[in-house]
Every structure is written in C-alpha cells, then in structure tokens.
Amino acid sequence: MSGNFVVAGGSKGIGLEVVNQLIPSADRIDVFSRSQGGLTGHEKVFRHDMDFTENDLDFSGIPDIVNGVVYCPGTINLRSFRALKPHDFVSDFEVNLVGAVKFLQGCLTALKKGAGDQPASVVLYSTVAVSQGLSMHASVAAAKGAVEGLTRSLAAEWAPKIRVNCIAPALTDTPLASRFFSSPENRQAMALKYPLGRTGVPADLASTARFLLSSESSWMTGQVLAVDGGMSTLRS
Ligand SMILES: NC(=O)c1ccc[n+]([C@@H]2O[C@H](COP(=O)([O-])OP(=O)(O)OC[C@H]3O[C@@H](n4cnc5c(N)ncnc54)[C@H](OP(=O)(O)O)[C@@H]3O)[C@@H](O)[C@H]2O)c1
C-alpha cells in the first residue's frame, strides 16, 4: 500500500512492527516517539522527538499529504481501585486519550489532503479490558473506553473523507507488557488464559493496523476490532 503514513509510538512494540510492515510499500513513514527504540534507520522512515504528555507539540515535520496515521502510546497501570490515586487516572487519560487528540489535531490538515479516491485512515489502540471488565484495570479501562468513544465520534464526524477504527488487543509481548513475560513460567501461565493457546505478538496487532490503513478495509469505519486470541468472546 503506497502513501505517506505517520506512526505515533513507532519506536517499540506494536508501533515498531507497524512501521516495519509498512516499509515495503509505503512512500514515507514519519514516527513520533521519545526515543529511537528499535528503529534501525531506513531511508523511508523519519523519526521526530515527541512526548505526547507535553503541550504545544510541533507537527510541522510531517508531509503536507498523509494517507494514514496510527497512535500507539499506551499504559498498563494495573492496581486495585483502592491503590489507584486520582492522578493515576489523569496520567492514563493523558497518554491514551489526550495524546491521541493532540496527535490527530496535529495531523488533521494533512489527513484531509490525503483523502482522494480512497478515504484517509486513522487507527487507534484500545484494550480487551474495556469490553471485559477485568479487575485491577479500572484506570486503563476508563482511559481506553474514552479512546473507543473518540473512535466512533470522529468516524461519524469525518466520514466520508477519513475512516477511524480502533484495535482492542489482549496481552501482547512488547516492552509495555514485559513484566508479564519475565520468566518461562509466567509466559506459559499467561498463554493458558487464551482460547488460542498463546498471548499476542506485535505482528498480530500490526497486521490488523496495516489492514485498517489499506484500501482492503475501505468500507469499515467506527469499528473496534478485538484481536485477543479469543479472550473477549470465547470460554474454553
Ligand atoms: N502490550 C499489550 O499487552 C497491550 C494490551 C492491550 C492494549 N495495548 C495497547 O496497544 C498499544 C501499543 O502498545 P505496546 O505494547 O506496543 O506499547 P509499548 O511497547 O510501550 O510501545 C509504545 C510506543 O509508544 C511510545 N510512547 C509511549 N509513551 C509515549 C509518549 N508519552 N510520547 C511519545 N511516545 C510515547 C514508545 O516509544 P518511546 O518510549 O520511545 O517514547 C513506543 O514506541 C497501546 O495503546 C497499548 O495500550 C497493549
């Protein structure tokens, strides 16, 4: 799929895999992150330093025309409700929701120009914990619930020029979730919770983003796609 793409959080985890999967066909990929992470340097990839928790962010480095964007920064702040302080909710909301808002506002003019024969495309990330009600997930589930609301609202507001969809992963082996994969025993215990017998890998979630960015999904908008090894729908 040719075109210009912008990946917020494209330096690690799922976002890095999105970048790697886009490289063969994209014309240009701009990445916003706080560090270089696992990016190895490629002529099509342009990284810009950015912390989405800061204000007055500079998006002037992106091309005038952008065909698709993905926002990947997220949190896994798992604690009992009793242990969570109000600032934990604010902090999770800042990274997951407000950061996405800043990103989309920064890219909107270029995205509108990217809508031609095909609509431009936005991909956001939620979590299985929004639809499933998992204990210890109050803060992140509340923040990601807002992301799902944003997805549907913007999909309505921006149709037919820009499509907006969201992916809801379950546990995936990335730097964000590394503490759940700290030993072979932990890894095995986590895998057993899933009907498909394993936890996610970045490619599972990146290939869904690539699909949502492509014309293969051109009649889809306002959707939240569960990519979770069956966790949200099956009991085995
Ligand atoms: N992994 C899971 O088990 C899981 C489960 C459910 C949902 N998700 C969701 O899936 C998405 C991707 O998760 P992931 O596991 O790939 O996360 P990750 O491993 O932490 O990677 C996140 C990416 O975002 C960047 N980032 C984080 N905070 C940032 C900030 N304040 N400003 C700028 N860049 C920032 C990171 O780069 P720098 O550190 O270089 O800035 C990195 O490139 C997230 O929205 C997450 O909530 C993940």
Segment 24-75, tens digit of pLDDT: 999 999 999 999 999 999 999 999 999 999 999 999 999 999 999 999 999 9
In the numeric block, the tokens 């979770």 are attached to 228
What residue ranges line ligand 1, CB within 6 angstroms? Answer: 9-15, 33-35, 37, 50-53, 72-74, 95, 125, 127, 169, 171-172, 174-177
Q: Residue 233 falls within a domain, yes or no?
A: no
From ligand 1's centre to the CA of 114, what distance in Å? 25
Please name the residue whose Cα sits nearest to atom 45 of ligand 1.
Answer: 74
Q: Which atom, in ligand 1's list, is nearest to the CA of 125?
A: 45
pLDDT band at 236 (very low <50, low <70, confident <90, very high): confident
Measured between alpha carbons, how far is residue 37 from residues 11, 31, 58, 117 in Å?
5, 11, 20, 35
CATH number of domain containing 158: 3.40.50.720
Q: Which atom, in ligand 1's list, is nearest to the CA of 34?
A: 41
d(CA 178, CA 24): 28
Q: Residue 235 falls within a domain, yes or no?
A: no
d(CA 195, CA 60): 45
Amino acid symbol at 24: P
User: Which domain, by its residues, includes 93?
Assistant: 4-227
Q: Residue 236 falls within a domain, yes or no?
A: no
What average pLDDT does this structure show over 99-108? 98
From ligand 1's centre to the CA of 78, what distance in Å? 15
Beta pairing class for 45-49 and 28-33 = parallel
Exposure string of 46-59, with b = 16+ CB inside 10 Å and e = fewer, is ebbebebeeeebeb
Instruction: Give me the number of domains the chain comprises.
Output: 1
Q: Residue 170 falls within a domain, yes or no?
A: yes
Q: Residue 153 falls within a domain, yes or no?
A: yes
Predicted local confidence at residue 86, as pLDDT: 98
d(CA 206, CA 40): 18
From ligand 1's centre to the CA of 74, what distance in Å? 4
